[in-house]
């Protein structure tokens, strides 16, 4: 039996990525794609990469009785409003891609499988992590799990323009973003709350600063986070720590190459990590696709866990390296 799902707010980037993945998911049937602004139009009229892939139409209807799960893709501060204004069957699984419930309020479980996979498996409501948060947390979880985050953490991370969503703004126009780079929300980015929450889940006494400088990159997709903190052990000990932590997690990989780059992960649900030791600092480079592992791919990973499927189902996606 296939899982019938619905997508709320399906006209944006995360909705389009969900469709790209779920149309080829062997255990999923897409029952409806809701969009008030595009109702009645073919899905491929907005997501033009899906021409020839589906004849689905956007709808302004939400037939909850026809589905077992819904994805909320309507943007930040919209999910709380949506759940207040609509009567949702208690048995319906909800995977929310906004920031609204990442504090695990209202019965939501924080949906980072590499942190709390067992809780996700039994959850009804999942708060999908943020893209920067996913990349940074995956860089630090093994250290927190070993109780080794005892000094300040420093993060410099760059994201593609799709991280800002589909709505145009002064900093997403091609003429501004191309051949340009800028920082924003230095030390104050909203993902810091969930990053600290996750680190304290594994290392409750963690109370040091996470100094985060985000950059807007002049490319479309991907995140590269460079994270460093004090580490007393050797590089060999650090690598062993990371390999052991991620041994049972199919999407996070430690690279032994001299360097890693975004083309290795774009269009995939992978996170690739690279470690270096510089004096007493451990440098962890973490790369993901902000729209897949940082959003829609991780949401499908959570769907698989909630419904008892193999975690990688529908997510064995290859990057385009050239």
Q: Looking at the annotation, which residues are catalytic?
A: 131
> What is the DSSP-derived secondary structure letter of residue 105?
-
CA pair distance 46, 34, nearest whole angstrom: 13
CA pair distance 70, 51, nearest whole angstrom: 23
Give alpha helix (H) positions in the chain.
13-22, 43-46, 78-85, 113-121, 131-145, 174-177, 192-202, 235-245, 297-306
Greatest alpha-carbon pair distance for the chain in Å reads 60
Per DSSP bridges, beta strands 58-59 and 109-110 are unpaired
b/e per residue, 162-175, with b = 16+ CB within 10 A? bbbeeeeeeebeee
DSSP percent split of the chain into helix, strand, coil, nearest 5: 30, 25, 45
For residues 34 and 59, is the Cβ–Cβ distance under 8 A? Answer: yes
CA pair distance 82, 86, nearest whole angstrom: 6
For residues 124 and 181, is the Cβ–Cβ distance under 8 A? Answer: no
Q: Per-residue DSSP letters for 48-72?
A: GGGTTT---BEES---GGG-SEEEE
């Amino acid at each position: 039996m296939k899982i019938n799902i619905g997508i709320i707010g399906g006209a944006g980037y995360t909705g389009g990525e969900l469709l790209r993945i779920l149309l080829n998911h062997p255990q999923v049937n897409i029952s409806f794609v809701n969009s008030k602004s595009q109702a009645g139009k073919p899905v491929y009229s907005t997501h033009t990469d899906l021409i020839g892939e589906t004849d689905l139409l956007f709808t302004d209807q939400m037939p909850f009785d026809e589905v077992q799960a819904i994805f909320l893709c309507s943007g930040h501060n919209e999910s709380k409003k949506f759940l207040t204004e609509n009567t949702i069957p208690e048995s319906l699984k909800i995977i929310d891609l906004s920031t609204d419930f990442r504090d695990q309020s209202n019965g939501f479980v924080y949906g980072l499988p590499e942190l709390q996979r067992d809780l996700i498996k039994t959850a009804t409501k999942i708060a999908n992590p943020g893209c920067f948060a996913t990349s940074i947390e995956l860089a630090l979880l093994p250290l927190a799990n070993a109780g080794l985050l005892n000094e300040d953490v420093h993060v410099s991370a760059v994201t593609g323009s799709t991280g800002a969503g589909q709505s145009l703004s002064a900093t997403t126009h091609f003429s501004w973003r191309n051949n340009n780079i800028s920082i924003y929300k230095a030390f104050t980015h909203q993902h810091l709350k969930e990053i600290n929450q996750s680190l304290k889940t594994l290392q409750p006494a963690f109370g040091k600063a996470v100094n985060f400088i985000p950059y807007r990159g002049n490319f479309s997709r991907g995140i590269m986070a460079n994270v460093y903190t004090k580490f007393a052990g050797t590089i060999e000990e650090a690598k062993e720590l990371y390999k052991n932590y991620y041994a049972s997690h199919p999407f996070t990989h430690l690279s032994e190459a001299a360097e890693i780059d975004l083309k290795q992960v774009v269009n995939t649900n992978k996170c690739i990590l690279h470690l270096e030791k510089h004096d007493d600092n451990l440098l962890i480079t973490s790369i993901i696709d902000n729209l897949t592992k940082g959003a829609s791919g991780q949401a499908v990973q959570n769907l698989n866990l909630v419904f008892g499927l193999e975690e990688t189902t529908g997510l064995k996606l290859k990057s385009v390296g050239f």
